[in-house]
Amino acid sequence: MNGVDRPSANALEHEAIYIMREVAAQFEKPVLLFSGGKDSITLVRLAQKAFWPAKIPFPLMHIDTGHNFPETIEFRDRLVEELGVELIVRNVQDSIDEGKVVEETGKYASRNMLQTTTLLDAIEEFKFDACIGGARRDEEKARAKERIFSVRDDFGQWDEKNQRPELFDMLNGQIEMGQNVRVFPISNWTELDVWSYIQKENIEIPSIYFAHKRKTFLRDGLIWSAEDEVVFRAEDEKVEERMVRFRTVGDMSCTAAVESHADTIDKVVAEIRNSRISERGARIDDKRSEAAMEKRKQQGYF
């Protein structure tokens, strides 16, 4: 006993733990999709909590775009080592080399779309029946309708008109052969909820989430890293050093930085609290088209 009578009353945390346990109980081969970003790091902590003192009863899988911030990869490997869980890595580069997908070119080229093929192939290869992901409904309008258990067909497709109703706490994970379920335990969390949780739990996250000096350039009013080769930069786009941090850590080539002096978790939380720009505002591929996310989801993207 530790002086406190009852566990903290964070309803979102209790809900997410409940969902993790439903996944472990209802599916034969679940996997946790791990990108190295703050949302998937949060998922890992929730999974630890759900099954303690046992180990997390499913592997982690990283669909590697090859365009990661080096900090995220180091972080990933250290975390997996500490947890003692299995890590599966599948590379978008392999899908390109095998001719399954074609690399995009030009100013806005990114590998975000290409991830879909690599993910679906990996699901097929390992016969995963449930993939736990860190998507949140507040991220984008098209996600607002996503279920907690979202059934995908053999082609990884999402049919937004034909989703199962979810009533009370009851989650229906019954599926047919070939189908699989995407599970979103932090569906109901907002960006601020995630950051506050990281703060309260004292969870370690990759350094690029904190303000640091970086060589950058401006395009379309957004700040881009000039330190990494994969980010396309035109000759006339001037490089300057700025204090920046990243709000998401997806494919480097399409993740913009924000100007910030928040170099500690407390400062980051305070900044998010006052922020007036949604985190996807800094992701170029969502800006390409308002319907971008919805189209990608129909193709099996997370």
Partner 1 sequence: MEVLKIATAGSVDDGKSTLIGRLLYDTKSMTDDKLEAIERTSKQKGYDYLDFSLATDGLVAEREQGITIDVAHIYFSTPSKSYIIADTPGHVEYTRNMVTGASTSQASIILIDARKGVIEQTHRHFFINNLLRIKDVIVAINKMDLVDFSEETYNTIKADFQELMKKRDYQDQNITFIPVSALKGDNVVNRSGNTPWYNGQTLLEHLEELDQKDIYNTGTPRFPVQYVIRPKTEDFHDFRGFAGKVYGGELNVGDEVVVLPSMTKSRIKDIYFYNKQYKTAPRRSSVTITLEDEVNVSRGDMLVKVGDLPTIDKQLTATVSWMDSASFTPGGKYVLQHGVNKVLAKVDAIEHKIHPDYSGIEENVSSLQMNDIAKVRLRLNKPIFYDKFKEHRTNGSFIIIDSRTNNTAGVGFIE
Phi first, then psi: give them for residue 202, nearest 5 degrees.
Answer: 60, 45
Phi first, then psi: give them for residue 148, nearest 5 degrees.
Answer: -75, -45
Helix 11-26 × helix 191-201 angle, to 10°: 90
CB of 260 vs partner 1, minimal distance in Å: 16
Q: Is 177 a residue that touches partner 1 (CB under 8 A)?
A: no
Q: Is 33 a residue that touches partner 1 (CB under 8 A)?
A: no
CB closer to partner 1, 45 vs 215: 45
59, 91, 100, 163: which one contacts partner 1 (CB under 8 A)?
Answer: 163
Q: Is 78 a residue that touches partner 1 (CB under 8 A)?
A: no
Question: Residues 137-156: x/- map of binding to partner 1 (CB under 8 A)?
Answer: xx--xx-xx-----------
Q: Exposed e or buried b for every residue in 257-268, given b needs 16+ CB within 10 A? A: bbebebeebeeb
Q: Is 93 a residue that touches partner 1 (CB under 8 A)?
A: no
165, 177, 202, 236: which one contacts partner 1 (CB under 8 A)?
Answer: 165
Q: Is 129 a residue that touches partner 1 (CB under 8 A)?
A: no
Phi first, then psi: give them for residue 32, nearest 5 degrees.
Answer: -105, 120
Q: 63: part of which helix (H) or strand (E)? A: strand 60-64
Q: Is 24 a residue that touches partner 1 (CB under 8 A)?
A: yes
Q: Is 50 a residue that touches partner 1 (CB under 8 A)?
A: yes
93, 172, 199, 207: which one contacts partner 1 (CB under 8 A)?
Answer: 172
CB closer to partner 1, 164 vs 215: 164
CB closer to partner 1, 64 vs 191: 191
CB closer to partner 1, 92 vs 265: 265
Helix 38-51 × helix 191-201 angle, to 10°: 60
CB closer to partner 1, 179 vs 264: 179
Phi first, then psi: give them for residue 88, nearest 5 degrees.
Answer: -105, 130
Q: Is 89 a residue that touches partner 1 (CB under 8 A)?
A: no
Q: Is the distance from CB of 78 to CB of 31 less than 8 angstroms? A: no
Number of residues in the chain: 302
Which residues, 6+ apart, have CB-to-CB distance to 12 below 8 Å? 186, 188, 189, 193, 197
CB of 164 vs partner 1, minimal distance in Å: 4
Footprint on residues 276-295 left by partner 1 (CB under 8 A): 276-278, 281, 290-291, 294
73, 83, 89, 188: which one contacts partner 1 (CB under 8 A)?
Answer: 188
Give the strands of the sheet with 149-152, arranged side by side. 87-91, 60-64, 30-33, 130-132, 180-183, 149-152
Q: Which of 263, 266, 29 is nearest to 129 (CA)?
A: 29
40, 116, 150, 196: which one contacts partner 1 (CB under 8 A)?
Answer: 196
281 residue type, one letter: G
Q: Is 256 a residue that touches partner 1 (CB under 8 A)?
A: no
Whole-angstrom CA distances from 234 to 5, 71, 157, 251 are 60, 25, 36, 19
Q: Is 82 a residue that touches partner 1 (CB under 8 A)?
A: no
Task: By CB under 8 A, name the binding residues for partner 1.
Answer: 1-2, 4-7, 9-15, 17-18, 21-22, 24-25, 48-55, 137-138, 141-142, 144-145, 160-161, 163-170, 172, 174-176, 187-188, 190, 192-193, 196, 275-278, 281, 290-291, 294
